[in-house]
Structure 1
Amino acid sequence: MMDTEHTDSDSYNGSVEKYYRFHSLIYDATRWSFLFGRDDLLDGIPDLSSKPRILEIGCGTGKNLSRLQYYFPDADLVGIDLSSAMLEVAKNKFIDSNQVKLIQAEYGADDIQLEPFDLIICSYSLTMVGDNIEDVIVQITDGLNPHGYIAVVDFNTSPFGWFRQWMEVNHVDLSGHLLPLLNKYYRPVISEKNDAYWGLWSYFTFIGQHS
């Protein structure tokens, strides 16, 4: 019997991997124009304990991990991403560093065993997860140390159906489903929504604590 759920997941992951083979070449040069709030998210991270363990899910080209090296010079940093092309770009940022570990995989895969983290960051990655988003949120919760933090910046929604459909073509869900889920599983420390391009879409910043 065909495992439909597994097959659908493999098909989606393969589609995302293909998408980023090209976009990895232009990602850092172009995404500043619409991935808003990434710097503000890192600026809002609370103080962490000495030698924290930090994970970024969907680390892409390593932009956030590079800044996290500056913020937390004694941290154990791990980045995970589906796209081998994006990770190849990221590796070039950390050639001389043993502080950062990069993993090509789907977060939560059975063959990936990770110790708990003090902070898990998701920067414009959760709206690309698909229908099993709540399962991923639960996995993130399980992957945090007691009183650990999740930090998320991502798209929220748009009042324009044509724009939501266009973003869906680009593997992004603009249904506004994420903030309610995050508030369900975490105690908010920061929760802000902002408009982009005069209301074409909204995005949010969320930092919450696992309690």
Structure 2
Amino acid sequence: MSTAHASTAAAHGTGTALERYYQFHSRIYDATRWSFLFGREEVLMRAACVSKAQRILEVGCGTGRNLPGLRRRFPQARITGVDLSEQMLSIAATKMKDDRVTLLRRSYSAPVHEGGSRFDLVLFSYALSMFNPGWEQAIDAAWNDLEEGGVIAVVDFSHTRFSWFRNWMGVNHVRMEGHLWPYLSQKFAPLLDERFSAYGGVWQYGIFLGRKQS
């Protein structure tokens, strides 16, 4: 596995706040997030059903929780993980000893292929809802990073009918207003666009898979 630090500035506006947030949460992330980050295994399974990706980009790869799953489903693929948190990436680097995995510390306000080969699959796993502002910019960057016919796969929080929960998630930098899905379905040809209930309807999360078409 190789790691690199890109010089890209934190362009999401909340970059510094998120870096401070994950300085602490990186230490407890894997032990705590399993209880409410639902659909992560399903989105990988669904992605493998519609893509035989050889080049994969995960945006907001965090502690690398999805990296082993991506490797199982795409055994020959080259995988690039992007995240703004140095602490999260340091944990991710311990999870796979694989020279076909590259980790980049940078924001995702612009494509990362930079004139090289584009990706067949771009994955966002509970990342876009934290890009405030910047979520539209990140989706646009994914469109540019994908090959024609490539697939975007997203699993994320959607919305809640409880204002107390929406406010509490806001404290944790998460926007829960169902805002992601219309733009995704506008930008990509939908293959899957579904919402699911968590904890008896306290909130909804969504899974979206779409194909890039000119």
Compute the TM-score of the two structures, normalised by the length of structure 2: 0.89
Instruction: State the distance in 1 between where 2:10 and 2:155 align.
Output: 26
The residue aligned with 2:51 is 48
The residue aligned with 1:72 is 74
Q: CA deviation at 1:115?
A: 3.3
Deviating runs (4+, > 4 A) in structure 1?
A: 7-11, 109-112
The residue aligned with 1:20 is 22
The answer to whether the Cα contact below 8 Å between 2:57 and 2:121 also exists between their aligned partners in 1 is yes
Instruction: State the distance in 2 between where 1:44 and 1:101 align.
Output: 23
Q: Secondary structure at the match of 1:97?
A: coil
Q: CA deviation at 1:108?
A: 3.1
Q: CA deviation at 1:9?
A: 4.3
The residue aligned with 1:90 is 92
Q: CA deviation at 1:97?
A: 1.2
1:198 to 194, 197, 200: 200
Deviations 1:96-120 (A, max 9, x none): 3101100000013588736310000
User: Where in structure 1 are there 5+ consecutive unaligned residues?
Assistant: 1-6
Higher alpha-carbon deviation: 128-137 or 196-205: 128-137
Q: Secondary structure at the match of 1:174?
A: coil
Pair 142,32 (structure 1): closer, same or farther in 2 beyond 3 Å: same
Q: Secondary structure at the match of 1:63?
A: coil
2:174 to 172, 197, 211: 172
Matches within 5 A, 1:2-17: 9=11, 12-17=14-19
The residue aligned with 1:3 is none
Identity of matched residues, %: 43
Q: Which letter maps to 1:200?
A: V
Pair 27,181 (structure 1): closer, same or farther in 2 beyond 3 Å: same
Q: Secondary structure at the match of 1:106?
A: coil
Q: Secondary structure at the match of 1:151?
A: strand
Q: CA deviation at 1:28?
A: 0.9
Higher alpha-carbon deviation: 79-88 or 63-72: 63-72
User: Where in structure 2 are there 5+ consecutive unaligned residues?
Assistant: 1-8
The residue aligned with 2:210 is 208
Matches within 5 A, 1:23-34: 23-34=25-36
Q: CA deviation at 1:48?
A: 3.2
Root-mean-square deviation (CA, aligned residues, Å) is 1.9
Instruction: State the distance in 2 between where 1:33 and 1:118 align.
Output: 30
Q: CA deviation at 1:209?
A: 0.6
Q: Secondary structure at the match of 2:132?
A: coil
Instruction: State the distance in 1 between where 2:10 and 2:95 align.
Output: 33
Q: CA deviation at 1:131?
A: 2.4
Instruction: State the distance in 1 between where 2:32 and 2:186 align.
Output: 33
Q: CA deviation at 1:137?
A: 1.3
Q: Which has the higher contact order (CA 8 A, sep 6+)?
A: 2
Establish whether residue 134 from structure 1 lines up as the match of residue 136 from structure 2.
yes
Instruction: State the distance in 2 between where 1:111 and 1:202 align.
Output: 31
Count of aligned pairs:
203
The answer to whether the Cα contact below 8 Å between 2:111 and 2:144 also exists between their aligned partners in 1 is no
Establish whether residue 147 from structure 1 lines up as the match of residue 149 from structure 2.
yes
Compute the TM-score of the two structures, normalised by the length of structure 1: 0.90
Q: Secondary structure at the match of 2:122?
A: strand
Q: CA deviation at 1:162?
A: 1.4
The residue aligned with 2:162 is 160
Q: CA deviation at 1:145?
A: 0.1
The residue aligned with 2:61 is 59
Pair 24,8 (structure 1): closer, same or farther in 2 beyond 3 Å: closer
